[in-house]
Amino acid sequence: MQEILRTSFLILAIIFVNFGMVYAQDAETERLKTERRDLMPVPASVNWKSGRLPVSKTFSVAIKGQTDERLKSYIFRVMRRLEGRTILELPREYAIDASSAQLLIETQSTGNAVPKLGDDESYNLEVTDRQAVITAPTTVGAMRGLETFLQLLESDREGFYFPAVSIQDKPRFAWRGLMIDSARHFQPMEVLKRNIDAMAAVKLNVLHWHLTEDQGFRIETKKFPELHQMGSDGLFYTQDQAREIIRYAADRGIRVMPEFDMPGHATAWLVSHPEIGSGAPGATYTIERRPGIFDPTLDPTNEKTYKLLKAFFKEMAALFPDAYMHIGGDENEGKQWNANPKIQAFMKKNGIKDNHALQTYFNKRLLEFLQKDGKIMMGWDEIFQPDLPKDVVIHSWRGQKALADAARQGFQGVLSNGYYIDLMQPASQHYAVDPIAADTTLTAEEQKRILGGEATMWSEWVSPETIDSRIWTRTAAIAERFWSPREVNQIGDMYRRLAVVDIQLEELGLTHRKNQAMMLRRLVSSHDISALQTLVSIIEPVKEYRRYNLRKQTMLSPLTGLIDAAQADAPNALIFNRAVEELISGNSAENAEKIRLTLTEWRAAQPKLAAQVETAAALSEAKMLVANWQNINAVGLEAVSYLEKNETPPAEWRDATLKTLSELTKPQAALEFAIAPGVRMLVVAAAEMSKLKNASASERREKIRSIAFPKPASKK
Amino acid sequence: MQEILRTSFLILAIIFVNFGMVYAQDAETERLKTERRDLMPVPASVNWKSGRLPVSKTFSVAIKGQTDERLKSYIFRVMRRLEGRTILELPREYAIDASSAQLLIETQSTGNAVPKLGDDESYNLEVTDRQAVITAPTTVGAMRGLETFLQLLESDREGFYFPAVSIQDKPRFAWRGLMIDSARHFQPMEVLKRNIDAMAAVKLNVLHWHLTEDQGFRIETKKFPELHQMGSDGLFYTQDQAREIIRYAADRGIRVMPEFDMPGHATAWLVSHPEIGSGAPGATYTIERRPGIFDPTLDPTNEKTYKLLKAFFKEMAALFPDAYMHIGGDENEGKQWNANPKIQAFMKKNGIKDNHALQTYFNKRLLEFLQKDGKIMMGWDEIFQPDLPKDVVIHSWRGQKALADAARQGFQGVLSNGYYIDLMQPASQHYAVDPIAADTTLTAEEQKRILGGEATMWSEWVSPETIDSRIWTRTAAIAERFWSPREVNQIGDMYRRLAVVDIQLEELGLTHRKNQAMMLRRLVSSHDISALQTLVSIIEPVKEYRRYNLRKQTMLSPLTGLIDAAQADAPNALIFNRAVEELISGNSAENAEKIRLTLTEWRAAQPKLAAQVETAAALSEAKMLVANWQNINAVGLEAVSYLEKNETPPAEWRDATLKTLSELTKPQAALEFAIAPGVRMLVVAAAEMSKLKNASASERREKIRSIAFPKPASKK
C-alpha cells in the first residue's frame, strides 16, 4: 500500500508550517515543561506534588499481589536501567517489608501471559517523599507504570530523585502498533529485540510483523520448506526464532501479529510454487530485487492455491498465538488476472464481475481457513467490503475517512495513513494525525471501532545498521498519539520531550544516534567528520517515494551512502528555521546576529568538506550538494547583511535570489536542504521587513511566508 | 594472574617516552606511510608496483582450486564490506571466466575445517591493473589474504581502486590469541561474534575463552547442571551456543580454546559442590562479587574432586574440538590448604613438601584425564615444572624470561605479560613487547618453542557496552606484533595505521568508538556533550589495578560512569604531548601558538562542563576533576605566555608550579589527565628554554625531561 502514495508529494510549506508551530508554541512550551516534565507518552492524568523521593544505593523494591516471572524480569531490567543512569549499585533482593521499600509494585492479577487485544494496561503511580507505589490490575499495566516511573527520574545538586506525583493512566487506543517489514530487507533477531524493547519504553503494544513479500519469504515452514528455502536467500526466521520473538514481546506486554501479504506482493512464494501463480502456464519466478508494485499474483481460481494456503495458515496459526492474522491484500493491480484466459473464464463462469470481486472471492476462501484456525482476519483497505464478518479488522493506508466509513458499517479499523515512517517526514507531521478526525461525526459506539493505529516501517531502504534511525525517535511521537489524550498535541513540547526519549532509548541498545558518526567515518575513511556532521545536521533524505527515482538501487545495494546516514528532522535545520521565524516575529537585530553567527560557522566547515568530497569517492555523489550548500550559505549571509545594516536590497534581488535558491535546493544525491524554508524566509525578510515595520508579528509572518512559498500553480 | 601485577605501577615517564618516540619518528613516518600504506599487520613482504585496479559495479570474483563453503562465505562477507565502503552494488555470481574476474582466489587445499595450531596461513597477493590474485595453500591463508586485500582499498578523484602490489605473507608466530574473560562479566553471544570478526580482520587466530572463575561458572554441563545453574546467575553459554561460537570462529580461521581455571579461582564451582573445596568441613560458598584473589580452592586430596573433574573434562573435551585445554593454575595462594588438617595430613603422608608440590600433584592428575581425552594441557606459569610432558604449553604472565627458561627446558610457551589490555595502557607499550627478547640467547630451535602470544581481556570492569573499547583498537597493534616481522616496530607509524583500522573495525559492528558518545549523553541526560567530549579526549582511566582501590565497585555494579566512557590512548592528549615535544625540539614560537590555541579552546569548554557537573548527578564524582582541569589549563596557558613573550618566570615559579601540578593531576574518579606529561614539560620549558638556546634539540629534550620527571626516590 505504500507505493500508491507516490502520487502525492510533500511541499516545502508543509514542513515549514510545522516549524512555525514549534515557534508559535514557545510560550506554551514553558508551561508544558512544568506540567509534563519528560513524560512521553503523557499520561491521562498527572498531578505534581511537592516533595521528592531520593535515589540512593539502598533503593529497594517490593512486590505485592499476584506477580509472575514476567513482571519480576521486567522489574529486574528496569532496575538495571536505573543503575545505568545513576551509577548506583542497587539491592537485588526484594525488600521483605513492603512499607519500607522505596518502590512498591502491586498487581491484582497476572493477566494474560501472552497479551491479547483489550488487555487492561492501566496503572496508578503515586510518588511521595517516602515511597513510589505502582498499582495495576495486571502485569502489563505494571510494566507501563514502570516505564513512566523511569521517565520521572531527575537529578540536581542533591543527587537523583523522583518528584512527588500522582498519576492515573490508561491508553486512549487499545491497538498501538509498529509494523516492521522483515521481508524487503531481512532484519536479524537483535534488531527486532531491541526495537521491541524500545516499543515497550513508549508503551506500544503490537508488533505487526510483515513476513512475506515479492522480495522475500522470511518465515520457516515445516510443511513447505521450499517456500523459505527458495524465497529468502537463506535469510529467514526459524520457527524457534519466531517463538523467541513472540516470547520476548509477550514478556514486554506486546502482541505479535504476522502478515502474509496476498494475493499480490507474492513473487517470493512463486519461486518455489510457480503453479499457484496467475502468470502464463510454465512461467517461472525469481526473488524480486527492485522496489515497487509487481505483477506476480496468486491464482484465486486454482484449487492448488487454496490447498497450499489452507495448510500454510494452519501451520502459522499454531505458531503465532495472536488472535489476529494479517493477510495484506494491498496493491493487487490484477494485470496477471486480466491476461490469463483461464482466470477470465473462471470469472465469467462464476459471475465474478471484476478483479475486486475476484479478490473478495479469494479473501472469503482465506477467511474460511482462518476462522477454522480460530483467527480473526485483518487486511489493508482493499479487503473491505460490507458482507465480511464484523470482527474483521480494516487496516487503513487510505486514511481517516476510509476508516470512519468502515466503522459506520460496523467494522473495526486501525489507521496507518499518516504514520508511514519510511517517508522520512518530520515527527510533527505524524503527530498531527489522529486516528479519529477532530470533527468526526461518528457516534461514540462507532468511534470505539477505531482500535488505534500503527507506524509502518517499510524496509525498501533500511538495513540493520540504519533501521533504528528510521523508526526512532519519530515513532515515540506516534506512540504518544495512540496512548495520550487527543489534547496532548503541542508540537514544540513534543519535540522537547522527544529529545529526552531519544537519549533514553539508547540505553536499550538502539543505534538510531550512534550509528550516524560511524557511517560518516566510513564515508570519509577518517575520524575527522566535523564538517560532514555539520552538513548532515541540516540535510534530510528526500521525502515520500522520491528516493528511488533520484538514486536507483535494488534490495541488494549497500545502504551506506550519505542519504543513509542522514535522518528525518535534521536537528540544526529545525533550530535555524525557528530562528528565522523569531527574527521575523520579534527583535530582528538580535536574531539576525544569531543567524549570522550560525551561517558563519557553517561557512567555516565548508572548505574542509569540499576537499573531502574531492578525494573520498564514497562522497563523490555529494559534490554538487556541497557546492550548493556553499552558495545557499552565501545567500543567507547576504540576506542577513541587509537585515543587520537595515539596507533594502535592489528591487530585482528578492525574486532573482528566490529563483536561484529554488535551483540550489533541488535534491542532490537524493538529499535536500532542510534549511531551505528558513533561507527563503530570510531572503524575503531582507527585502520586505522595512515595508512591514508597522505590521503585527503575525501579519509580517503571513506576508513573508506567502512570498517565500507561493501557492503551486494549479495542476496541468 | 592479573592480580599480582598490582604491585608494579606505571610511572608517568613511561607513557611520555612513548609519545616522545612518536615524535622522534615523524621523519621516518613519512617514508613508512609510502611503504606500508594502511596495512595492519604489515605483511612479511610488500612490493608496490605502478598501476591500479579500479573498482566499479562490475567488479567480479572468481575462485579456483579447492574451495569450500567457509571460503565462499568469507568471500561473500568481504564483498559486502567492499560494497559498504564503495556504495557500489557488486555482482553476486562468481565470474565464469577466471581470467576476466577482477579478483581471483585460488586455494590448493581447504585445510582443516576446524583450524589447528600450525595450520598454513600464508598467502600471496598480486594486484595489477587488470586483476587481483590471491593464492594460498589453504582456505585460512586465503582468508588472511582477503583481509589484506580489503585494507588495500583506496580512493581519489578517479574513484575507488586497489594499488598494484606484490605481497608474500605469512605469520611470524603460529599462536596469536585474544583471551576473553566471560566469567567475571558474562559477555553475550553477539559480543563474542563481533570480536571474533575483528580478530579475523587483524589476523588473530586463537580465542582463549576464560569460562570459569570465582565470579561465575559460564558453561552448561549436562553431567553436572548444578554447576552452571547455581554458579552463573543464569548467565551461561549453552553447549549449543558454545558450538555456535566454535563454528563461527572456525569459519574465520580461528581456534577456540576453553579455560577452566583451577584449583584456585574456583568459588563458583563450590556453590553447588562445596564438598570438593578445601575449606573447613561444612563450609558453604556463594558466587564471589568482588575483584581479587580469593581463598576457595579445589581439594587436591579428595578423590571426589577427581571423580567430578574427570567426568567434567571428558564432557568438555567432546564439546571443544581444539587440541589444547587451559587449566589455569594461577594465583593459588594455598590459604585453605594451609588451614586444613586433612590436607596437611595428606601432604605429610605422601611426602608432598609444599603447596607448589601439592598443586603439581593436582596438575598431574588432571593431565592424566586430559591425555586420555586426547587433549594437550596448557596453564599459567605456576603449572610449570620440569617433569611435565614436553607438549604442555606454558602461558606466561610472568614474562619473556620465564618463557625463555621454559623453552630452554624444552617447553612450548605463549606470552601474555605485556599484553594485559585491561590495564588501560597505551598501545605503544604493548607494541614494544616482543614474545622473544631482541637480545635473546635462545637457539633457533628453542625460539621455535615460543609459539606466540595472547592479549588478555580480563573482565572485572567491562560490560557488553564497553568491552569493545577495551579490546580495540589497541589489540590490533598487538596482533601486528604477533604476525609481522620483529622489525615492524615504529610507534608513530603504528598509531597512524591503528587509526585507520579503528574505522574499518566499525563496519563489523564493533562499538569501541560509537558507544562513547552514547555513554556521555546518558551521563548528562543531554545531547550537548561537546564539552564532555573535549574532557574525555584528554583523560584516561587509571592504569594497572588502581581502579578498584580508587573507586570500589563489585561485579554487580553499573559500568556506566565517566571512567567507563574514557579510554586508553586519549587521542587529544597524544597530540598535545607531541606538540609540546615539538616546541621543545624545534621552532618554539610557532608551536607555542598552536598549544595556546588548543588550551584556549579547552578553556572555552570548561564553564559549560562545570555547570553540567553541578546538576548531572551521574557526573558529581567528576567535580574535582573538572575543577582541576581548569587549573591545569591555566598553568598551561601561563607557561605558554612566558614562552611566547620570551620572558623568564620568577626563580621559584617552576618548582612551585610542578608541585601544584602534581596535586592537580592526582586521579579523580579514578581518571587521570593524559596531558599531564605535556603540561609538566611546558612548565619546565617556560623556565629553562632561554638557558638552553645553544643546546641541541636532544639535549634540550633530555634536560627538560629530567626536571619534569625526576627519578623516583629509592624505595623506603
SS3 A149: helix
From B331, B465, B540, B688, active-site residue: B331
Identify how many contiguous H helices and E strands chain A contains and give both numbers.
28, 18
Alpha carbons B541 and A377: distance in angstroms, whole number: 58
Are A278 and A425 found together in one domain? Answer: yes
pLDDT tier for residue B362 given thresholds of 50, 70 and 90? very high
The answer to whether the peptide bond before residue A148 is cis (omega within 30 degrees of 0) is: no
Scanning B106-135 for CB atoms below 8 A from A yields: none
**Which residue stretches of B538-652 are H helix?**
546-550, 562-565, 571-585, 588-615, 623-645
**Residue after which a domain boundary falls, among B488, B506, B524:** B506
What's residue B26's pLDDT?
67
> Could you identify the residue written with the cell 502520487?
A7
Cβ contact A314:A373 at 8 Å: yes
Picking from B464, B406, B398, B462, the residue whose alpha carbon sits closest to that of residue B433 is B398
A518 touches chain B (CB under 8 A): yes
Burial of A466 (0-12, 13-18, 19+ CB in 10 A): buried
Mean pLDDT of B537-546: 97
Q: How many CB atoms lie within 10 A of CB B303?
A: 10
- On chain B, the residues whose CB falls within 8 A of the CB of A78 are none
Task: Say if A556 falls within a structural domain.
Answer: yes
DSSP string, A198-245: HHHHTT--EEEEEEEETTEE-B--SS-HHHHHHHSTT--B-HHHHHHH
Report the pLDDT value the prediction gives residue B714, as an integer from 0 to 100.
Answer: 61
Query: Is the domain of B221 the same as that of B147?
Result: no
- Residue A399 included in any domain: yes
Alpha helices, DSSP H, located in A217-340: 225-231, 239-250, 267-272, 303-319, 335-339
Q: Name the maximum alpha-carbon separation found in chain A.
A: 81
Spell out which residues of chain A touch residue B500, defining contact as CB-CB under 8 Å.
Answer: 525
Q: What is the mean pLDDT of chain B?
A: 94
- Structural contact between residues A147 and A203, judged by C-beta atoms closer than 8 angstroms: yes
- Residue B26 included in any domain: no
Cα dist from B233 to A28, A707, B219, whole Å:
49, 67, 12
Q: Which of A83, A514, A618 sits opposite B514 (nearest CB)?
A: A514
Residues 324 to 343 of B: which have CB under 8 A from any A CB?
A: none
- Chain B interface includes A244 (CB < 8 A): no
| B126/B191 same-domain check | no
User: Inter-chain contact B159–A506, Cβ cutoff 8 Å?
Assistant: no
Flag whether residue A234 sits within 8 Å of chain B, measured between CB atoms. no
pLDDT tens for A81-132 read 999 999 999 999 999 999 999 999 999 999 999 999 999 999 999 999 999 9
Could you tell me if B148 and B198 lie in one domain?
no
By Cβ distance, the residue of B84, B556, B620 closest to A560 is B84
Q: Does A152 fall in a domain?
A: yes
User: CB contacts < 8 Å between A and B, how many?
Assistant: 125
| Beta-carbon separation of A155 and B617 below 8 A | yes
- Name the residue facing B513 among A518, A561, A618 (closest C-beta): A518
Q: How high is the pLDDT of residue A22?
A: 46
Hey, how many other C-beta atoms are within 10 angstroms of the C-beta on B353? 10
Domain match, B66 and B204 both = no
B495/B633 same-domain check: no
Write out chain A residues lying below 8 Å of B558, CB-based.
80, 83-84, 86-89
**What are the E-state strand segments in A337-433?**
376-380, 393-396, 412-415
Give yes or no for B521 touching A (CB within 8 A). Answer: yes
Which ranges of B616-651 does DSSP label H, i.e. alpha helix? 623-645
Question: Following DSSP, what letter does each residue of B269-317 receive, concatenated?
Answer: HHHH-GGGBSSSTT-------S-S-----B-TT-HHHHHHHHHHHHHHH
Q: Which of A473, A506, A539 is the last residue of a domain?
A: A506
- Cβ contact, residue pair A89, B553, below 8 Å: yes
Q: Are residues B217 and B260 in the same domain?
A: yes
Minimum Cα–Cα distance from B506: chain A residue: A518
Task: Tell me what percent of the residues of chain B surpass a pLDDT of 90.
Answer: 90
Q: For A57, which residue in chain B has the nearest alpha carbon?
A: B557
B contacts of A513 (beta carbons < 8 Å): 517-518, 521
Average pLDDT over every residue of B76-82: 98
Q: What does the angle CA B249 – CA B253 – CA B259 come to, to the nearest 5 degrees?
A: 50
CB contact (8 A) between residue A85 and residue B157: no
Cβ <8 Å between B156 and A615: yes
Last residue of a domain, one of B490, B506, B522: B506
Record the cell numbers describing residue A296, joined without a space: 506476480
Q: Which long-range contacts (CB under 8 A, 24 or more apart) does B231-240 make?
A: B231/B268, B231/B269, B231/B271, B231/B272, B231/B287, B232/B186, B232/B268, B232/B287, B233/B186, B233/B287, B235/B186, B236/B186, B237/B182, B237/B189, B237/B211, B239/B319
Question: Which of the residues A3, A315, A331, A382 is marked catalytic?
Answer: A331
Query: Count of CB atoms within 10 A of residue A568's CB?
Result: 21
- Would you tell me how many other CB atoms lie within 10 Å of the CB of residue B194? 17
B677-697 confidence digits (pLDDT tens): 999 999 999 999 889 888 998
DSSP 3-state of B645: helix
Contact B618 A85 (CB under 8 A): yes
Chain B residues in contact with A575 by the CB 8 A cut-off are none
Is A331 designated active site? yes
What residues have CB less than 8 Å from B659, skipping those under 6 apart?
A: none
Q: How confident is the model at residue B15 (pLDDT cuts 50, 70, 90)?
A: very low
Query: Do A442 and A564 reside in the same domain of the chain?
Result: no
Note the pLDDT of residue B104.
98
Partner-chain residue, chosen from B89, B513, B514, that has the shortest CB–CB distance to A558? B89
In the prediction, which pLDDT does A713 show?
67
d(CA B589, CA B641): 11
Average pLDDT over residues B456-469: 98
Interface of B with A in 618-677 (CB under 8 A): 618, 620-621
Residues in chain A predicted with pLDDT less than 50, given as ranges, are 1-24, 716
Residues of B in contact with A507 (CB under 8 A): 522
CA distances from A677 to A544, A695, B222 (A): 18, 22, 66
Cβ atoms of residues A442 and A478 within 8 Å: no
Residue B32, helix vs strand vs coil = helix
Residue B40 lies in a domain: no
Say which CATH number the domain at A379 has. Answer: 3.20.20.80
Q: Residue B161: closest CA among chain A residues belongs to which residue?
A: A617
Q: Would the pLDDT of B1 be above 50?
A: no
Q: Are the beta carbons of A85 and B615 separated by less than 8 Å? A: no
Which of A87, A162, A527, A554 would best serve as a mutation to test chain B binding (most B beta carbons within 10 A)? A87
Spatial separation of the C-alpha atoms in residues A73 and B649, rounded to whole Å: 64
Is A83 in CB contact (< 8 Å) with chain B?
yes
Q: Is A349 on the interface with B (CB under 8 A)?
A: no
The verdict on residue B597 lying in a domain is yes
Torsion, Cα A552 A553 A554 A557, to 10 degrees, reads 170
The answer on A365 and A495 residing in a single domain is yes
Could you tell me if A50 and A132 lie in one domain? yes
The answer to the question of residue A8 being in a domain is no
B556 contact A CB<8A = yes
A600–B contact, CB cutoff 8 A = no
Based on the fold, state whether residues A499 and A524 are members of the same structural domain: no
Q: Is B616 on the interface with A (CB under 8 A)?
A: yes
The number of folded domains in chain A is 3
Q: How far apart are CA A327 and CA A312, in angstroms?
A: 12
**CA distance linking residue A69 with residue A61, whole number of Å:** 15
For residue B411, pLDDT over 80 is answered with: yes
A427 and A300 housed in the same domain: yes
The Cβ of residue B495 has, within 10 Å, a number of other Cβ atoms equal to 24
Other beta carbons within 10 Å of A92: 12
Using a CB–CB cutoff of 8 Å, tell me whether A371 touches chain B: no
Rounded to a whole number of angstroms, the distance from the CA of A8 to the nearest CA of chain B is 29
Tell whether pTM > 0.90.
yes
Of A92, A506, A571, the CB nearest to B518: A506
Residues 150-169, chain A: which have Cβ within 8 Å of B?
Answer: 155-160
Q: Is residue B28 part of a domain?
A: no
A615 contact residues in B (CB cutoff 8 A)? 155-157
Chain B: closest CA distance from residue A600 (Å): 18
| Confidence (pLDDT) at B5 | 38
Here the ipTM equals 0.95
> Which among A503, A618, A621 has the least Cβ separation from residue B521?
A503
CB proximity list for B701: less than 8 A, separation 6 or greater: B20, B581, B584, B585
Q: Which of B157, B517, B558 sits opposite A83 (nearest CB)?
A: B558
Q: Give the span between the Cα atoms of B230 and B284, in whole angstroms.
A: 13
pLDDT for the residue numbered A4: 40
| A80 to chain B: closest CA residue | B558
**Enclosing H/E stretch for B36:** helix B26-36
Containing domain of residue B690, as a range?
514-708
Nearest CA of chain A to the CA of B522: how many Å?
A: 6
Chain A residues with beta carbon closer than 8 angstroms to that of B291: none
| Domain CATH number, residue B63 | 3.30.379.10
